[in-house]
A and B are shown apart, each in its own frame.
Chain A
Amino acid sequence: MRVLIVEDDDILRDGLKVGLALSGFTTDAVATRESADAALAAGSFDAVVLDLMLPDGSGTDVLKKLRDARNDTPVLLLTARDTVADRVSGLDMGADDYLGKPFDLDEVAARLRALARRSAGRSTAVIEWATIRLDPARQSVEKAGIPVRLSRREYSILHALMSQPGAIFSKATLEDKLYGWQEEVESNAVEVHIHHLRNKLGPGLIETVRGIGYRLGGDS
């Protein structure tokens, strides 16, 4: 799950970037409204963590621009102003959730997972497909009740595919979900991770749609 962090405080931005990565998110971080707009226009994010007070404007401007562009990416607002009126106006402006500073890192991660789940139209936290169970909160995967150990990137690909069963993901989309900007993408990394996933969870789980990409195979 790829998350954009928009926060101007260096230490907090760094903490969120590293901390959310530890919780299994792929994270990118920017400090200004301008770069947030640019990042959101360019990349595909599964969620945005947005600070309201930015040096060159307000987070609400970013949010408004995002919604005006008909982009439904879930947005979690972070702000030092957390009176009821602030929460209401933030939510009314199109934010999906609201968290006052200082917050708990685990709570940010949990809320982001919940936002992603809701945007995918699911109500339960655990995703199931055939005999596979994926628990985003614990980053754990089981096959027929037996835990399977996956690397972070393998988990990210499986999570992406299982979040939208039936959808076809191109190689580029999957790479987007795997790598932040600073990370270098190995040329055949996606193929390698898919290969490992098929070895660990059974060859029929992931189908290759020739020339387009990948999707979950078999029946749920």
Chain B
Amino acid sequence: MRSIRARLFFILLLTTGLMWLSATLWIFFSTRAEVEQVLDARLMEAAKMVSSLVVNQEIDPDRPAQTKAKIPVLDHPHYDRQLSCQIWSLDGTLIGKSESAPETTLSAHATGLSETVINGETWRVYAVENAELGVRVLVGDNLRIRDRLVNDVVKGLLVPALLIIPLLASLIWLSVGRGLAPLRKLAGDLTARDASDLHPIAETATPSEISPVLRALNGLFGRVAGARQREQNFIAFAAHELRTPLAGLKTQAQVALASSNAEIREKALGQIVAGVDRTGRLVRQLLDIASVEASETARGAVEVNPGDVLASLRNELLGHTRSAATVVIDPGLDQLQVRINADLLRLAARNLMENALHHSPAGGTVHCRLVRNDGTVTITIDDDGPGIPPEELPHVTERFFRGRFKAAVGSGLGLSIAELALEHAGAGLALQNRAEGGLSARIVLPNDLIA
């Protein structure tokens, strides 16, 4: 059953019904026991009473049976002729009987309680023998009447119950509906919202059961709003940063169109080609940032060998860049196994190695090393370029920061991408100038990432 209202309705109705039923059953049995006890006592009392009448000679045992003594019985619409009485002589002659009593003996036994079936009806009989007078007094009542008594009590319980159940059902239905109203209101509020409306839902006057849902929803709204804000910032920032290269491309194209000088035209076209390459790289890096930022938490970590990652990056980058530098990878890096998101590590290492190659002088060396410290393992990518002026070091990971020693192809995004990717992978980036000149870019891996 999908509806809480229907489910609650059926559960409540069923349990109420069951409770009613068990109460009725209990009343049925206890009433029956009680009735039995009371009526048995009455039987005994009546038998003794009749017996004492006989003893007092008020009933003459020697009188013939034809003149049967009449025992008066009160008239009652349902329960008349409840008791039947027979007085037998000990030799088996019926001396007297009440009006409702059958002709045959109610019981064969001498004294005490017993049940006898006469003409298909069960009688409960109490017998008293008076040996002195030679009579036996039998007082009995029909069990059908006893059952009717109990049944009437139960009926008195069930009939109003059957009448009340529809009323109870509608009350349950209405009150469950009422109880669920805050949920409906919440749903209505959410439906009425438009997609950009991410402000939290007010928690005032919210039932405590719905508060956790509301808090979770508001938390989600907060996260979505944050992600959306980042996205908007990113789009504004990307649009902004693409404008300068586009302006450059357009200007060069207009120079090529306006000039009749072949040399100027050729140079402008060359600049356009270089500009398109650079803009393409910028777009790739912007997409890298977007994809790293989209991953809110560190994604699936796998076991990675940093030596392999660096070696494949070396092959890829030395093929593309015009750099005349060489890349040396320490053999120690092949022994290392890191549990990290492979894509993020590769992205960071790629940007750091690209950066190192761009700033390396011709014939320079980019050296990748492994350094083990207390608590961390560091992969360093060292170049022998100009390094970063100390006053610029704190700013180089800011987006689009380009220092004074910027490379011609730099977009100012490489280091910030590396830092962002490493942060998302649970690692860190440290940059420092080397004593012997050049920059040392360090991927700092906490020990818990080391496999």
What residues of chain A have their CB less than 8 Å away from a CB belonging to chain B? 8-16, 18-19, 22, 32, 51, 53, 55-56, 78, 80-81, 100-106
Contact = CB atoms under 8 A, between A and B. Distances in A.
Given A22-B259, A55-B404, A81-B240, A14 B252 contact: yes
A155 B254 CA distance: 23
Most B CB within 10 A of own CB, among A11, A80, A102, A106? A11
Contacts of A56: 404
B202 interface: no
Given A11-B252, A55-B403, A80-B240, A103 B247 contact: yes
Nearest to B400: A53
Contacts of A16: 251
Given A15-B252, A22-B255, A55-B403, A10 B408 contact: yes
A80 B255 contact: no
Interface in B398-422: 400-404, 406, 408
B428 interface: no
A15 B243 contact: no
Interface stretch (B10-18, B30-38, B271-279): B271-279
A94 to B, nearest CB: 23
Nearest to A79: B243
Contacts of B162: none
B258 A22 contact: yes
A55 B268 contact: no
Interface string B271-312: 110110010000000000000000000000000000000000
A163 to B, nearest CB: 24
A33 to B, nearest CB: 11
A15 B255 contact: yes
Given A22-B255, A53-B400, A106-B254, 13 more contacts: A8-B402, A11-B251, A12-B251, A15-B251, A15-B271, A16-B251, A18-B259, A22-B258, A22-B259, A22-B264, A100-B243, A101-B244, A102-B243
Given A10-B408, A105-B250, A80 B241 contact: yes
A204 B207 CA distance: 98
B330 to A, nearest CB: 34
Contacts, number: 87
18 contacts: A10-B248, A11-B248, A11-B249, A11-B271, A11-B278, A12-B244, A12-B247, A15-B254, A19-B251, A55-B401, A56-B404, A78-B247, A80-B243, A101-B247, A102-B243, A102-B249, A104-B250, A105-B255
Nearest to B408: A10
Contacts of A103: 247, 250-251
B391 to A, nearest CB: 10
B245 interface: yes
Interface string B184-197: 00000000000000
Nearest to B272: A11
Interface string B218-256: 000000000000000000000011011111111110110
A51 B240 CA distance: 13
A16 B408 CA distance: 18
A9 B250 CA distance: 13
A78 B247 CA distance: 10
B404 to A, nearest CB: 6
Contacts of A81: 240
A19 B254 contact: yes
